Structure 1
Amino acid sequence: MEKINIDDADAAMAGMQALHSAMALELGNIEQRIASLAESPAARSASGMEDMSVYSVTRAALYSGLASINEILGWVHLMTEKDSQGNVPEAVKMLPTVPVFSIH
């Protein structure tokens, strides 16, 4: 596999971290909607149950997306070029790691 140069790694990290932040914020909003609906009398209505179903699917998709972003960041960590002394920049060191033999 080809190594990622540090400039490309920086671009990948910035994009993925921005997407992660946006998705985490949306997940918080969905969790809040789920909690509000669960406490509401409307939760037992047909429209309330339909809304809860949509929120649950959305929440699962967001969790899946966040996990995928972590895997991508781990891959960037694994594949980023090292300098002549075998070191990677501090920003890359802080990324999550992923096993070399990922199941995906």
Structure 2
Amino acid sequence: MTKIRTGLVVAAAAAGLVSAIAAPAQAATGQLVLRDAAQRAFVINDPRAGCSRVDTGFVRVANKTDAPITVYEDAWCRGWSVVVLPGSDEYVGARHSFSAPW
């Protein structure tokens, strides 16, 4: 009986580890508002971790999330970057991608 109980505890612990690892990464909670040169707004709710492309580009960021957001010149999160802190609204120049921390 002890071996069965130990086996069940190990299996339950392993299942918990797998589900924790498989959980989707959410980097920030809140809204990220990106505006293009024509001042059209693009709203991203709860931005995911990692690099995200914005095909239309953007020039202004309102970070209404709980995490700093880094914005980049190119579409692959490379090149000159600017960090937009939570609660700020900034002109960032022509940008085409952003990333939220892991």
TM-score for both structures, normalised by structure 1: 0.32
Structure holding more helix per residue: 1
Higher-RCO chain (CA-CA 8 Å, sequence separation at least 6): 1
Structure holding more strand per residue: 2
TM-score for both structures, normalised by structure 2: 0.33
